[in-house]
């Protein structure tokens, strides 16, 4: 079985930590990967809240498995 760090490394680029309407630099623990993997859907983007102003956007498996898939940046500031 893969360790959490191995799973984190493999998943990088398939999810994005979004900081919404704030200029903070959140500390993210690698154990969040378990929540990401549990929430990932096959055909739809999923958002899970981590704390106020911080959420995770999780790309669907169908997009990740597509031939032209390009990894996304891990952190992004978003204005809504």
pTM of the model: 0.90
Q: What 3-state class would DSSP assign to 77?
A: strand
**Domain count of the chain?**
1
Cα–Cα distance measured from residue 11 to residue 35, given in angstroms and rounded to the nearest whole number = 12
Residue 30's pLDDT is 81
* Banded pLDDT at 6 (limits 50, 70, 90): confident
Domain span holding position 70 = 4-78
pLDDT digits (tens, 9 = 90+) for 32-62: 899 999 999 999 999 999 989 999 999 999 9
Please determine, for residue 2, whether its predicted confidence score (pLDDT) is greater than 70.
yes
45 in Cβ contact with 57 (< 8 Å): yes
Residue 1's pLDDT is 64
């Amino acid at each position: 079985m893969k360790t959490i760090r191995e799973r984190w490394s493999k998943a990088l680029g398939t999810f994005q930590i979004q900081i919404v309407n704030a200029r903070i630099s959140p500390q993210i623990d690698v154990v969040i990967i378990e929540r990401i993997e549990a929430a990932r859907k096959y055909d739809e983007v999923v958002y899970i809240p981590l704390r106020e102003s911080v959420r995770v956007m999780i790309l669907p498996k169908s997009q990740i498995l597509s031939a032209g898939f390009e990894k996304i940046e891990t952190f992004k500031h978003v204005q809504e």
